[in-house]
Structure 1
Amino acid sequence: MTALSAKPAVRTAATSDYTCALVEGPWQHEFVSSGGSRFHVAVAGPDHRSAPLVLLLHGYPEFWWAWRAQIPALADAGYRVAAMDVRGVGGSDKPPSGYAVPARASDVAGVVRSLGRETAVVVGHGTGGTLAWAVAALYPGATTAVAALSSPHPARTRLSSRAAFTTAALRELAYLQVPTLPERALLRGDLVERTLALGAASPLPADVVELYKTVMRIPFAAHSAAEALRWAVRSTPRMDGRRFGTALRHPLGVPALQVHGGRDGIVRPDRADLDAMYLAPDLRYELIPGAGHYLPEEAPDEVNRLLLNWLARVAPAPR
């Protein structure tokens, strides 16, 4: 059979070896639908409508497990928590296309509805933070509030990536635009380990890094991760990218929290709030001086404290 006549592989959670991503802990694993795809979420906390929903979105090159320190802390405080594997990652479906930020924002809004809620507090880290900003801009009716960790407002990054990211991070992003090679480096090379080391203030534990590398080896996950980062660059001059950029320039009508690490090797925290302060009128900005890019893991106690303090104002849990 020739390549031209071969049928494309069906990239679904049902047929991919994703079990390594279903880490056990004080949460339950569920699968929900959105836009014709299936998404894995780890859920915890009271399952009644009076408990506000907090939806957690991981960044690259991680998966839902990056929020393992936040899930029980938020659940114990009375919140319904759902940490989601975004499109192409972990136990979620991995279709061959659909990795534009607006498409993935639609995924998130659909997951909120599939979890039985009209709105959620959307919290994202890194590239998941970009997604959280986008959900707040494109689906304000589904967003109670938005929090972005280690993630400048995408209006800033689309205007000038050099102003938002470090030189080393820009080199990695440029490398990811090359066909095929990044996928090989994610699967069999050291790209996952190198990216984690670039962003962190101090090395993450070896077993944590190894788990991220293992989950990246799930069929089609490496290509999905690369495609999402390619869209961020290649869409800038295109019409779809321009439409997205225009939508981002409208001020947000929901409260926002922006948190950065002072030793972030990927994002420049001194420039990160320049756009958000104008586009999010109700913005709280926090800096964790000794932490790097991976705030939920590098500074879990401080992140939990900041989130719970902010949530008590914007989406208080019932007593």
Structure 2
Amino acid sequence: MPVDAAFVEIDGPWQHRYVAANGARFHVAELGEGPLVLLLHGFPQFWYAWRHQMVALADAGFRVAAMDLRGYGGSDKPPRGYDTYMATLDAASVIRALGETGATVIGQGLGGWIAWSMPVLRPDVTAAVASLSMPHPRVMRRASWFDRRQRAASGWIVSLQKPFGPEREMTRSHDYVESLLRGWSAKDGPFPSAEDVARYGDAMRIPFVAHSAAEHYRWLGRSQLRPDGPFFMRRIRHPIRVPVLELHGAADRCVLIGPTRGSGRYVPGDYRFVTIPEAGHFLTEEAPDAVSTELVAWLKSIH
């Protein structure tokens, strides 16, 4: 049975609001006061993946806004606009809609891919970026093409290129989401719990979310065969001139830590790489305290 979009308005110390930005409406959970930090979730999750970090960052003196990406959660789900250019424009527009001229952008997984792209595509609003479980897009592309282990680990993206079938799998039961949550997290770790599986599985049943979530990755796949993919990769080869933090789980089974090293070559200035031991792909929930500690220390060092 479909789930209403209001499902994502989960109670907590944060406030829920909807902002008009880039011709769409985006759901944002907001907490704290101070310099703005925009949080971008990954697949197959929504803003709630950042709940632990929201509290820690707000307590440290930052204004934190965790948004649902286009097509996810309580945000609009238009039929098109799931390329990285639009995703960065969405993030930049939300920053301005929140009354700020700039922000630190932090993303996990898909959100990390978007965060890496912000300093080049939207430099006017990007003060710094942090990426969890995702290297620079050019590094990720190279690893997926030329490393046998990462190519196998990225096979799920190929399966998402099929029309209609993946959407049916995502909404038929919790099995599809559970397979990703368990398959990408550290073996024998505490995440995901049955509650985690139910929450993210139900969120995927919000009308049009499954299709929209797949569309983000369909652009990544199909654009490689069209001019916009190579053009995007040429655009983001330029040096990143803002501080960058990259966190990666040592036990990540989706984005393997070995083949995806090397993002620092695109950051001639302040670049820090931190490995989170015994954690997989879903760092914000597998190692919430360690991630919060690293983010707070980094944010305080650059503000």
Measured against the shorter chain, the TM-score band is: over 0.9
After superposition, residues 196-215 of structure 1 pair within 5 angstroms as 196-201=181-186, 202=189, 203-215=191-203
* SS, match of residue 65 in structure 2: strand
Aligned to 2:129: 146
Q: Hey, what does 1:13 align to over in structure 2?
A: none
**1:270 pairs with one of 248, 258, 263:** 258
Q: Does 1:63 align with 2:46?
A: yes
* 1:6-21 alignment runs, 5 A limit: 17-21=4-8
Letter of the structure 1 residue corresponding to residue 296 of structure 2? L
Q: Do 2:143 and 2:151's aligned partners in 1 also have CA atoms closer than 8 Å? A: no
> Contact 1:133–1:153 at 8 Å: present in 2 too?
yes
Mapped to 1, the partners of 2:97 and 2:204 lie a distance apart of: 26
User: Is 2:112 the counterpart of 1:129?
Assistant: yes
Q: Where do residues 150-189 of structure 1 align in structure 2 (5 Å cutoff)?
A: 150-162=133-145, 166-189=150-173
Residues 166-218 of structure 1: CA distance to partner in whole angstroms, max 9, x if unpaired?
35532211111111110001111421111111111124111011100111100
Is the 2:38–2:64 Cα contact (8 Å) retained in structure 1?
yes
Structure 1 residue 194 corresponds to structure 2 residue 179: yes
1:247-293: CA deviation from partner (whole Å, max 9, x where unpaired) = 1100001000001000001011113231x111012210000121000
Q: Would the aligned equivalents of 1:162 and 1:170 in 2 still touch at CA under 8 Å?
A: no
RMSD: 1.3
Deviates more, 1:286-295 or 1:239-248: 239-248
Amino acid at match of 2:169: A
Question: Partner of 2:30 in structure 1?
Answer: 43
Partner secondary structure for residue 41 of structure 1: strand
CA distance in 2, matches of 1:69, 1:243: 37
Q: 1:288 aligns with which of 276, 299, 302?
A: 276
Instruction: Please say which of residues 224-233 and 200-209 is displaced more in the overlay.
Output: 200-209
Structure 2 length as normaliser, TM-score? 0.94
Q: Deviations over 1:114-146 (max 9, x none)?
A: 010111000000111001111122011111100
The answer for the alignment partner of 1:254 in structure 2 is 242
Matches within 5 A, 1:293-312: 293-312=281-300
State the distance in 2 between where 1:135 and 1:211 align: 29
2:214 to 194, 205, 226: 226
Q: Distance in 1 between matches of 2:29 and 2:266?
A: 31
Aligned pair partner of 2:231 in 243, 247, 251: 243
**How far is the alpha carbon of 1:156 from its aligned partner?**
1.4
Aligned residues: 295
Say which SS state the counterpart of residue 289 (structure 2) adopts: helix
Q: CA deviation at 1:17?
A: 2.2
Q: Determine if contact 2:185/2:281 at 8 Å carries over to the other structure.
A: yes
Residue 149 to residue 108, structure 1, CA distance change in 2 (3 Å): same
TM-score of the pair, normalised by structure 1: 0.90
Q: Name the amino acid aligned to 1:177.
A: Q
Structure 2 counterpart of 1:106: 89
Of stretches 130-139 and 89-98 in structure 1, the one that deviates more from structure 2 is 130-139
Q: Give distance in 2, aligned partners of 1:219 and 1:266.
A: 26
Structure 2: give runs of 5+ residues left out of the alignment: none
Q: Which amino acid aligns with 1:43?
A: E
Give 1:54's aligned amino acid: V
Shift of residue 73, structure 1, vs aligned partner: 0.6
Query: Residues 140 and 253 of structure 1 are in contact (CA less than 8 Å); yes or no, is this contact kept in structure 2?
Result: no
Counterpart of 2:200, as a letter, is Y
- The corresponding residue for 2:266 is 279
Provide the rounded CA distance (Å) in 1 between the counterparts of 2:120 and 2:198.
35
Looking at structure 1, the residues matched to 129 and 122 of structure 2 have their Cα atoms a distance apart, in angstroms, of 11
